[in-house]
Amino acid sequence: MVILLFLFPKYILRSFIMASTLKQLEQTKILFIIIILLGIGYLTFEVRLCLWKPKLYFTDPWKMFDVGALVLPIITSMYWLVNGKPPLWIIAFSNLFLYFKFLLFFRVFKSFGVYFVLIIGVVKRVLVFWVILSFIIFGFTHAFFIMLRPTKDDKENDPWNLATKYNSINSNGTINPNLTLIQQPNSNTNMFSWFPTSILAMYLLLTGDSGYLSSWTYREAPIMTILLVLFTSFTTIYLMNLFIGSFIGVAIEDYGKNEAFLLQKAKKKIKNIFQIGCNYYDIPADEVRRLINAIDNNQTEFSSPSPIISKKLRYLLKISEPIGSIDELKQLKEEFKQLKEELKQRQIRDESKQQENGDEFRQQISGFSQ
């Protein structure tokens, strides 16, 4: 079952890549049919998991991503068979999700799972930082948008004025002032003419690409230059380095711990490392009962000291405390008899003392009466 769960997405990914990428392949219909059949077969496992615990299933983001990563290629393949080639963006996202789907299967292995937990945990911790950074980017985007967008009154920022112009050279070597050629502008000539592209331009500026501001000269646009210096110094230099530092700090603090990072190297040299912790196992209750009964009756052997069975576990499994062996019972009976005899002897001695004291008391009273 586990092998099938691992192989199904592998063959779906391979078939979809071959069918959507290789144009010379003639048997694409067969590959699309294989994708649909394998995808539906894998979805049966997901349906069984959903029926087992629906609330837990729908609250797990991993499961939602798994289903989405499989449903999209299946729908794309069906559309391709019925209506022909679908839009390219659907094919692109289907391939991308299948790659991530295949990668997520490695999270069950410890060496890969550590990094998945690290990535997700750090993202949760620095989510507030991303919110602050996005507000700063939106603020600078709005400022650049107001400064550089084309308006009716100010045509300096018009894409036709910002486009590259070419002048011819006269026979005497002077430049002809009349324009000879002008490059036709496009939407990238002035990305600040539309607010969504302004956000993209600021994101690219955050990564170090300032080519979208090359249409303006820094000397003739001093306000733009000041905004550029503020943005690059505050976000690109300061905040991004702060983010990298906090990323590493959170990783060491919460998900690595200093001891764990040191032990990763120490474990290669030290074989026996005693670590106190809790291990959780998913074992049927009947097997646990059989194991506890075997421990109580001394029918098991452990290399380490025998495990301690808590009263809470015995109460949950409805197992009484062990009575002990026959020899122990005989020894307890003998000890009980000895205690009983000692109590009887004490009682006899106490009664004799009381009788003696009573006789003395009577003699004293009779002496007083005489």
Given the DSSP bridges, would you call strands 165-169 and 175-182 parallel, antiparallel or unpaired?
A: antiparallel
pLDDT of residue 250: 66
Assigned token pair, 364: 């004293």
pLDDT of residue 261: 46
- Whole-angstrom Cα distance, residue 184 to residue 189? 9
pLDDT of residue 142: 92
Residues of the chain whose pLDDT is less than 50?
1-3, 258-276
pLDDT of residue 365: 66
Where in the chain are the domains?
2-108, 109-150+187-277, 285-317, 333-370
pLDDT of residue 305: 66
Alpha carbon separation from 258 to 74, 124, 157, 224, 263 (Å, rounded)? 46, 20, 54, 46, 9
CB 155 within 8 A of CB 147: no
Q: What is the pLDDT of residues 21-56, one digit of tens each?
A: 766 555 677 888 888 888 888 788 888 888 888 888
Q: Which of 267, 240, 256, 265 is nearest to 119 (CA)?
A: 256
pLDDT of residue 9: 61
> Taking the CB of residue 192, how many other CB atoms lie within 10 A of it?
23
pLDDT of residue 368: 57
Q: What is the pLDDT of residues 285-311, one digit of tens each?
A: 778 888 888 877 777 776 666 677 787
Q: Which of 208, 209, 229 is nearest to 218 (CA)?
A: 229
Assigned token pair, 194: 């539309």
pLDDT of residue 269: 47
